[in-house]
Amino acid sequence: MIHGLIAVDKEKGLSSHDVVDAIRKIFKIKKAGHFGALDPLATGLLLIALGNATKFFSFYLKKEKQYAGTIEFGYGTTTYDSEGEPLGEKKEINLGNVDVAALLAAFSGPQTQIPPIYSAKKFKGRPLYYYARHPQSDRMGVVLRPVQVEIYHLEGKAVGPTTLQFRALTSSGTYMRTLAHDIGQRLNVGAYLKELRRERIGEFSLDSAFTLEEIRHSAAAGDLRKVIIPIESLLPEFPKIIVSPAGCRDVGNGLPLQPENILKLFPAASNDNFRLFDEEGKFLAIARKNASRIGFKPYIVFPD
């Protein structure tokens, strides 16, 4: 069984699920999943977890993301991107007359966003796009609840009378299509997301990503180390603890790790979670400090 992470440079036109399916076929495995979807029209970084690394979803969900893209002004669309139908007639605008820096500054910092109706956000157990694509469904009962997000940095420049190029560093859960739509609403002319490329998720960037074709080639050549980041290298922000054989048995049985079974502790940036390893470097579990007594309580344990 393969356990680790693959950084994929997703091409335009593929859904995130398409990429996961392709990875499953390439490596002939069933246990795989992505850490944060990209729309089919978007390109760029998509993290695919394999095997036990799929248990790290909650950690990677919280990591900041960086995007580069293009917004087209003049009208909005039903999907907030270039696939949707126009919302009204096209309006005239010349971005050369707009203070772009001030405009984008108004959309920086903590804020609330309304998810697009064409999105994977769940409502009553179904993604919102289900209701948008099935008029016979109870779409009138759909409630688009605002979500709290943060845009840490947003910059851009006009590259034509109606076209804006931008780069954004955001919290997880930020909808770039909603950002484009909201900016168009602010100028009262409408806008939609024309192009989007994800450049970074946490510590991973496109520099370490591979296309599906490159991954297929490496797998066929048996060179898995080139494209797979081993699970032992993941979550380096959590301190690493080397556990004694007795401690390994306790951890494997879901019991707390006692101080006397800690052989070595390597400090790291965060002390909220700890990575437990045996003496040979095998990843055993993720643990938290035991609040009620001494030691560490494992809550994500990897089977043998």
Distance, in Å, from the CA atom of 197 to the CA atom of 29, rounded to the nearest integer, reads 28
Distance, in Å, from the CA atom of 168 to the CA atom of 21, rounded to the nearest integer, reads 29
Distance, in Å, from the CA atom of 266 to the CA atom of 244, rounded to the nearest integer, reads 15
Cα-Cα end-to-end distance for the chain: 11
* Cross-strand pairs, 123: 126
Under a CB-based contact definition with an 8 Å cutoff, are residues 56 and 49 in contact?
Answer: yes
Regarding beta strands 76-77 and 86-87, do their DSSP bridges make them parallel or antiparallel, or are they unpaired? antiparallel
Under a CB-based contact definition with an 8 Å cutoff, are residues 3 and 53 in contact?
Answer: yes
Under a CB-based contact definition with an 8 Å cutoff, are residues 245 and 52 in contact?
Answer: no
Question: Which residue, among 250, 176, 178, 236, has the nearest Cα to 204 in the 3D structure?
Answer: 236
CB neighbour list of residue 268: distance below 8 Å, 6 or more residues apart: 236, 237, 238, 239, 240
The helix/strand/coil state of 1 is coil
Distance, in Å, from the CA atom of 160 to the CA atom of 233, rounded to the nearest integer, reads 44
Query: Which of 9, 18, 21, 39 is the catalytic position?
Result: 39
- DSSP class of residue 252 equals H
**Is 39 known to be catalytic?**
yes
Regarding beta strands 283-289 and 296-301, do their DSSP bridges make them parallel or antiparallel, or are they unpaired? antiparallel
Catalytic residues, by residue number, are: 39
